[in-house]
Structure 1
Amino acid sequence: MKVFKKSVLFCLFFVINRTEAQSRFAIAPVVGFIQVNITSRNSFLNPASHDRGYGPLVGILGYYSFTSKWSVSTGVNYHQIHLKPNEKIEKRGYWNVPILLNYKAIHHTFAPYFSVGTIIATPSTYRPNPSTSLDIILGTGLLYKPNSRVSWIIQPQYQKEVIPRPNNFIPTNYQSYKISLQVQALFHL
């Protein structure tokens, strides 16, 4: 009888811990819309040039939850920007790797959701001498969790390019930022 009780307790402990560990991981397909704004000036004598573009965003993220409120996520996304320099439409595609720290404020079906982190972006074609860029990202949105297996996140995000800094090929007053609206369906594993 003692062996049976120990076996049952061990199985319960194993199942509970396994369930807890499984619920820490999630995978999320991402869809959205992104807008980019670019301002540059070659010298004080030349007027600043402004470009604005927009396009779709798709990707996939993996999540790991440290606690019920805190998580980290990373993955890959692709977005295509339709720029209009001098009213000639150009399509440019970008691969990005976001690394985010996420915070869910409360434990309700609907909860405020915040993200902060960085994005490593593929070579940018905005410059004559392209290089990989590093952007910071801030997001705030809403998490909807109808059950324990699925969650939905809708989140506007602000993305600001911080690296590379201007060099000989980049205008001294070069600024680029992106604004996106993303929808994610989290599937808890």
Structure 2
Amino acid sequence: MTWMEKISWRLAKRIKMDETPYSIGQLAHGIEIVLLNILNVIALFVTSALLQIVGEVFLVTALFFFHRLLSGGVHLKNPWTCMTATLLLMNAGGYLVKHLSATVPPYAALLAGVGIGIAFLINYRYAPAEHTYVSTDPKIQQKNRVIILNIVGFCCILSLFLVEYVYQLVIAYMVAILTQSILLLPVSFQIANRLEKHFERMVVK
């Protein structure tokens, strides 16, 4: 049991009451997720501050997780590999936004249109993907799929009109939605599965 799991269990035992409908294990799991999210935010802030891209990183992160809640995607089971992947992806996204924002408007519009267009096609084919917080009910999945495609399509059209006015926001949206869309691809699940197995073997050794 990791130090975080121990803390989560201790807190869960303290707040567990007779009328609480959840078990200590369920409460501990929820507490662990909250603690991990707090650590993620702190780590993301520190790393992005060192790279001087705090604003860009948190803009990409907000847009990324907005779509992830609806579309699902690759999920790493180990919390530390998940944190590492999140830091790498979001900081890379923020770095791209900072440097792509120097692109002149006509080319930026083309870049945004192509990027979001590719994201739309991927979502059309694979969204919503498997994930713990995405319902497996076919009706709900179909509803989410329609919502996702409408949002991406609308934002794609809107971005082409607003690229000269909210330059950085359009580029950030393109980077965020394209990153999330790539995580819907079957090959991304295969890569994640191999990474997890490799990490497990390293831990066992």
Q: TM-score range by the shorter chain?
A: under 0.3
| Larger Rg over CA atoms | 1
TM-score normalised over the length of structure 2: 0.23
| Higher relative helix content | 2
Instruction: Compare relative contact order (CA 8 Å, sep 6+) and give the higher one, 1 or 2.
Output: 2
